[in-house]
Structure 1
Amino acid sequence: MGVPSSSEAELGQARANRWWVRGRRVGSIERAAGFIGDVGFAVLFPAPRAVVPSLWEAVAGEDEEPFGAGMGTNEQRVWTWKDELPRRGLAWYGAFLAGRGSFLSPELLSALYPGAGEPTDHLALDLSPAAHEIADAIAAEPLPSATLRALIGDRSRYQRAITELQRNLLVTTAGVHESGSGWPAALITLTCHQFDVGGGTDHTFAAARFVDTMLATTPGKLARAYRWPVAQARARLNELVHTDQATFDGTRYLRR
């Protein structure tokens, strides 16, 4: 099915249907996994600068604001699922789309993962010393985020390093570690230990997945989402047009 191209309002309505904003709400972790598998990628909570699917809207609908009345049932669900989905291998989670907490389906993760699927994948990337130190530390087993912050010795440096690793899809969460007091700490693990990745990079598939979910896009938007050069994004989109997987209206690339 194609996408309406006559107005932004029609595109918004089509996206609401495509992104599970309308219809039966997501009320279980199994259905949450089905949602992420269907759309391929989603942020945890919606944001004005990240016009992409969100798990929150699939759970609560488009009119409910998260944390408007504190930690309600829907907030508890999505906050728990952000750690439980990757622990079960149902969806990758980390700071990826627009730098926000994001999910990727295992299929899309495999297509985007930059390494061979080995604990040493980080060595081939230009990362900060702290990022390499974290990757080495969790090569044997997952560790709580609090332990890794103590290892790095500086909260800001830790946050920058873990964000680097997540943006490169090298780490995710594997549940939580109960500390006995306060909020439980996320368990950080290597992506290659939690998911079947490595050797399956397929950027043409990843671009097709993006168009299928966004319904209409541009090379710039695709490039920002996946952190690709704009020229690479344009080449992949043109390839989709040449293989009849998308159309081009002179401004945007549309799902066929």
Structure 2
Amino acid sequence: MTTELKTAEQRARRWWVCGRRVGSVDRAGKFVHDVGFALLFPAPKPIGPSLWEAVADEDDEPFGDGMGENESKVWGWKDELPRQGLAWYGAFLGGRGTFLSPALLAALYPGDGELDDHERLELSPAAHELAAALAVEPLSSATLRALLGDKNKYQRAIGELQKNLLVTTAGVEEQSNGWPAALLTLTCEQFDVGGGTDHREVARQYLDTMLDAAPVDLARAFRWPTAKARELFDELVDDGEAITEDGRRYQPI
């Protein structure tokens, strides 16, 4: 068996692709807690586990036959998991819809856990405007788009806030026409965050979930310099929590 195939099989077990399917929001929360981070739907290149793969059968493709039962489950849970405080959700890993466990979120969160955290980050005026509005109360995506008056401007601004982990979903708000709109709130209002990052713990969780990774993989995942990612992996090696044969790829112990 090749190393790549062995890693793929190990990841299938680690990422809940094998075994009992996730069928409830509570179990979905346990899945995110276990893996630390997960995409909503799988990416073409496996950059991490996905909730879809933990819910559907191994050979199922998302939206292969439209919006089916499994698609409806995971689509609804992207709003329900944050609402219940079980997982953060937003566009994060590779700009894709991503869940983070509360513990990993706290280790990554860049602010003090205050309503004005956005003021200390370099964001666009539109992103600051949205964050200030959300500091007053949770608002629907439809309301926030109307506030900026431009759909593309809204998408860029909310993307900035999610990339910096400042905003998450918190349920939905029914609309008079069409689909319900996502209800958005500041992360610090929904989760216990602030008071310091722990990037070593992030690196440990990343390696524990990926099972095999290069520093550049960690760097890309969290938008860190590759040198920092390598330093964190080497700290894990020094502390007996990881191994490497050539300094290029690392595995957890």
TM-score w.r.t. structure 1 length? 0.96
**Residue 9 in structure 1 maps to residue 2 in structure 2:** no
> Post-superposition shift, 1:47?
1.2
Per the alignment, residue 222 of structure 1 pairs with: 218
Preserved CA contact (<8 Å) 1:49 1:98? no
**Residue 80 in structure 1 maps to residue 76 in structure 2:** yes
> Post-superposition shift, 1:61?
2.9
Q: How does 1:18-167 map to 2 (within 5 A)?
A: 18-167=14-163
**Residue 255 in structure 1 maps to residue 252 in structure 2:** yes
1: distance between equivalents of 2:235 and 2:29?
A: 30
Instruction: Give the letter for the 1:40 counterpart.
Output: G
Partner SS state of residue 122, structure 2: coil
Preserved CA contact (<8 Å) 1:50 1:97? no
2: distance between equivalents of 1:217 and 1:91?
A: 24
1: distance between equivalents of 2:79 and 2:171?
A: 5
**Residue 171 in structure 1 maps to residue 167 in structure 2:** yes
2: distance between equivalents of 1:125 and 1:246?
A: 33
Give structure 1 stretches of 5+ with no counterpart: none
Q: Identity of counterpart residues, as a percentage?
A: 65
Instruction: Give the letter for the 1:29 counterpart.
Output: V
Preserved CA contact (<8 Å) 2:110 2:196? no
Instruction: Give the letter for the 1:77 counterpart.
Output: K
Runs of 4+ in 1 over 3 A off after TM superposition: none
TM-score w.r.t. structure 2 length? 0.98
Partner SS state of residue 21, structure 1: coil
Partner SS state of residue 110, structure 1: helix
Preserved CA contact (<8 Å) 2:94 2:221? yes
Q: How does 1:203-218 map to 2 (within 5 A)?
A: 203-218=199-214
Residue-by-residue CA offset, 1:207-233 (whole Å, 9 max, x unaligned): 000000000101111011111111111
2: distance between equivalents of 1:87 and 1:166?
A: 16
Preserved CA contact (<8 Å) 1:170 1:190? yes
Residue-by-residue CA offset, 1:129-176 (whole Å, 9 max, x unaligned): 000000000101100001101111111111001001000000000100
2: distance between equivalents of 1:126 and 1:142?
A: 22
Partner SS state of residue 216, structure 1: coil
2: distance between equivalents of 1:81 and 1:227?
A: 26
2: distance between equivalents of 1:31 and 1:102?
A: 17
Preserved CA contact (<8 Å) 2:36 2:205? yes
> Post-superposition shift, 1:50?
4.3
Give structure 2 stretches of 5+ with no counterpart: none
Instruction: Give the letter for the 1:30 counterpart.
Output: D
Q: C-alpha root-mean-square deviation of aligned residues, in Å? A: 1.1
**Residue 233 in structure 1 maps to residue 229 in structure 2:** yes
Of 197, 204, 212, 1:201 maps to 197
> Post-superposition shift, 1:48?
1.1
Preserved CA contact (<8 Å) 1:50 1:98? no
2: distance between equivalents of 1:232 and 1:188?
A: 32
